[in-house]
Amino acid sequence: MLLIRTWDWLIGKLNVSVDRKFIFVTGCDSGFGEELCVELDRLGCHVFAGCLTVEGMVNIKDKCSAKVFPVKLDVRDHASILNYNFPLIPGLWALVNNAGICGAVGPTQWLNAGDFKEVLETNLLGAIDVTLSALPLLKSENKYDSCRIVNMISVLAHFHSPLTLPYTLSKASLSIFSKVLRMELKGMNVRVCTIEPGAHISNFTDRTEMSLKQTWDRLPLVDQLLFGKQNYEKS
């Protein structure tokens, strides 16, 4: 369902030709990014798949045709984005900011500033950096039809829940960034869209459960005793 909606935002609504349409997707090592690359490839699109790891690049290469080109990209590293050299991409038509991490999970008093920084660097600042780097090229291609920036946020950006404050904060902030950018780019033939997946079963949700355990395990024994293992297991 998520892939269908993402595709609808990208191409389905306008019934446009995919010829010479290049789409850049971040976070393609696994999950939604990987699945989107496979689907876009099936539909005949040209895709640049940003992967954090070499293993992710190999996986994309194995699953997709030559129209999908995997590239090494760490959205947390500005130099990595610059090294990609966006201006050399012919006809960049859409950007999908999908790269994201769940980060530390647990009650806020279990967390530290580093936990928030880690998530914000990927989910918010990384998406902003990639967008600003790609925006000049997206604007230069608007003679064909409306370009697109698609930001993957979350229902948690609007419906907040305990235990996931760093993640929720990052997605709420990315939602605000998207809304303001949408207003600023109105009339420039660049559409800014957001996708808000819910609690889909994926590697991401598996990592959330693992992160909660890791956060618990690093707590000092006195805090574990104060909170109680039974309460942790109910979290």
Structure-token pair, residue 83 = 């090294």
Place of tokens 């971040």: 26
More confident residue, 203 or 60: 60
Q: Where are the beta strands (DSSP E) in 55-171?
A: 68-72, 92-97, 147-152
Spatial contact of 132 and 185, defined as CB atoms under 8 Å apart: no
More confident residue, 199 or 121: 121
Instruction: Tell whether pTM > 0.95.
Output: no
Give the CATH H-level superfamily of domain 2-210. Answer: NAD(P)-binding Rossmann-like Domain (3.40.50.720)
Tell me what the pLDDT averaged over the chain comes to. 85
**pLDDT tens, 131-157?**
999 988 887 655 556 889 999 999 888
**pLDDT tens, 47-69?**
999 999 999 999 999 999 999 99
Strands lying side by side in the sheet with 190-195: 68-72, 46-51, 22-25, 92-97, 147-152, 190-195
Calculate mean pLDDT across residues 197-208: 63
Amino acid letter for position 198? G
pLDDT of residue 86: 57
Residue 87 pLDDT greater than 60, yes or no: no
Calculate mean pLDDT across residues 39-45: 93
**pLDDT tens, 92-110?**
889 999 999 989 999 998 8
Place of tokens 């079963």: 201
Q: Point out the residues that are catalytic.
A: 167
